[in-house]
Structure 1
Amino acid sequence: MRTLFLLMLAASAGFVSCSESKTTSGGSGAIVLGDSSMMVTETDSQYLGDRVMDMRPAKAAEPTEEAEVVKTDTAQKPATVEEPVESKTARVEEKPAEAPTGKGLKIDMKDVTLFIPGVEAKGSGTSYSLRNGSLNGKEIRVSGGKVDKISQRYQTVVVAKNNLGTLVLDNLSTTTGWEALRSAGNSYTITGLNENRLAAPRVSPSSIRNAVSREARSSRATRKNEQKWLAAVKNVRSANQKPLSVELRSVMWKIDGKDARGKSFSKQVRVDMPL
């Protein structure tokens, strides 16, 4: 029995030694839960440190103000300003009128020049006296400035004429209002000066006698001739009744326009008729 006990003890020791050898060399044995022999107790402080950092949940990023991004189409062409399309028809520019030439009345008014062909007159500035030709139906040609309108008015006077001579009755006269002349380019036509259509002043027998007596004295007529004049107009009732007639005394034009610098101007000129 003693021998048997020793043999069993030796076998147990060998089995334990073999198990430890396998555990030490392979390290692949399974760990049995609850087996105290498998627990490892470490006492060295250098191996007891926690080398794993604590896991902390990351905070959600706070929203930041960003400039509003406008989504654009990169393929879109930049806006362009359309340029006006030039007309295929050539633009006709107004050329300034050429300086007047030939025979006629030339009126230089600094900002503009007027020229009436076919007449002769003497004077300067804004006052002239007609010497030859007739104004009715003639053209006023403009140069040297831009004229917008030419208006015309005229003055008539009653004239007494017989074998005693001629008396211009200045007290019996009238002046018309301004009327615009018809234009064609840089030319204006003088109209309304027909002898049989001239405006006549209003008269009466007494106004006629007073005008005749006054003019006879101004012309230094004798007392005898003055009485003859009064006798000649004794039965006259109108300005066109012989020996009276209505005559054109003067013609006036008003020129409205702009000079070369674009400044507006208004000028007048007068042409007196021979009586």
Structure 2
Amino acid sequence: MKQYILYISAISILLASCGGEKSTSKGGAIILGDSSTIVTEKDSQYLKDDILDFEPNNVVSTQSSKADTVVKAAAPVEKPQEPVQQPSKATAAGYSINFGNVKIVFEGIAANDATRQNAEKQDGLSYVIKSGSLAGAKIHVYGAKNATIRQRYQSRLMLNSKSGSVDLRNLGLYTTGWKNVNASKTGAEYVFALTDLNNISFSNVNNAKIKNATDKELRNRRTSKKTIQSWMKEISKTNSANDNPCDIILDNLQLQISGTGADGKSFRKNIRMSA
């Protein structure tokens, strides 16, 4: 009971003190709902908003941007590529002669140097054919511009029959004039066809010349009289180089090959191919 009385007394004292306190040394207390107690600030310097606005914009990472810039700056600038010369197709199979900047190939021919020579430095070259035929053969020229070939050949007459062979060299060699060889061009390759050698010629001869040449050759061999008589009978009606048993043989082919090499210098080679 005493505690209850003390509690009531304390509340009464507090209420009495609040009701009696009307003002302070600095002014009256602010009472909620009383507009006369609300102070409104009019000084502009205290009305400034120094808080930065918050903008919900996406922030771009400067570190990432800088990194991208560095990479782009460091990337090499691509220069226009120069045209790459495609490798030419495989050269023809045959005997090849290298002039340095120019190469020629006798298709289907095997040959040897007739003498010690340097194809790059020498203008006159000589070769001996081991196998293959020049008749209708093709000459491939690589690495040249404005390539041309002129040809001439020398032929000789032989007798070929069941009795054997007789080389009529004592009739001499027949020499043709110079003639241009027809060519075709594919890319940087020239192809010259020796079609004229499919039907070669010889000098005009008659039966008497053929008999005399045959008799002389057989006697140089120390052939028996019986064999000589057999040959004379066989050629009794042979009146020209185109009659049996005559056979016109290619003795050698001479070529003049000219043009401009890859270095821009003109060249001319004289080549002799002996059969």
- Give the structure-1-normalised TM-score: 0.55
Could you tell me which of 166, 189, 192 is aligned with 2:193? Answer: 189
Could you tell me which of 210, 217, 224 is aligned with 2:219? Answer: 217
Provide the identity percentage. Answer: 30
Say if 1:188 and 1:105 are closer, same or farther in 2 by CA, change over 3 A. Answer: same
Deviation at residue 189 of structure 1 after TM alignment: 2.0
Give the structure 2 partner of residue 175 of structure 1: 175
Say if 1:226 and 1:156 are closer, same or farther in 2 by CA, change over 3 A. Answer: same
Say if 1:243 and 1:138 are closer, same or farther in 2 by CA, change over 3 A. Answer: closer
Secondary structure in structure 2 of the residue aligned to 1:151: strand
Which has the greater radius of gyration?
A: 1
Give the structure 1 partner of residue 26 of structure 2: none
Separation of aligned partners in 2, 1:235 and 1:113: 49
Secondary structure in structure 1 of the residue aligned to 2:196: coil
Q: Residues 150 and 256 of structure 1 are in contact (CA less than 8 Å); yes or no, is this contact kept in structure 2?
A: yes
Give the structure 1 partner of residue 103 of structure 2: 113
Query: Counting helix residues as a fraction of each chain, which structure ranks higher?
Result: 2
1:93-143 Cα shifts (integer Å, max 9, x gaps): 9x7996974631112345632102222223355223333333333321113
Task: List gaps (5 residues or longer) in structure 1.
Answer: 1-92
Secondary structure in structure 1 of the residue aligned to 2:197: coil
Q: Residues 93 and 105 of structure 2 are in contact (CA less than 8 Å); yes or no, is this contact kept in structure 1?
A: no
Say if 1:245 and 1:182 are closer, same or farther in 2 by CA, change over 3 A. Answer: same
Separation of aligned partners in 1, 2:159 and 2:143: 43
Task: List gaps (5 residues or longer) in structure 2.
Answer: 1-82, 118-124
Say if 1:97 and 1:183 are closer, same or farther in 2 by CA, change over 3 A. Answer: farther
- Give the structure-2-normalised TM-score: 0.55
Separation of aligned partners in 1, 2:132 and 2:86: 28
1:26-78 Cα shifts (integer Å, max 9, x gaps): xxxxxxxxxxxxxxxxxxxxxxxxxxxxxxxxxxxxxxxxxxxxxxxxxxxxx
Separation of aligned partners in 2, 1:107 and 1:114: 5
**What is the one-letter code of the residue matched to 2:201?**
A
Determine if the alignment matches structure 1 residue 123 to structure 2 residue 113: yes
Say if 1:184 and 1:214 are closer, same or farther in 2 by CA, change over 3 A. Answer: same
Superposition RMSD on alpha carbons, in Å? 2.9
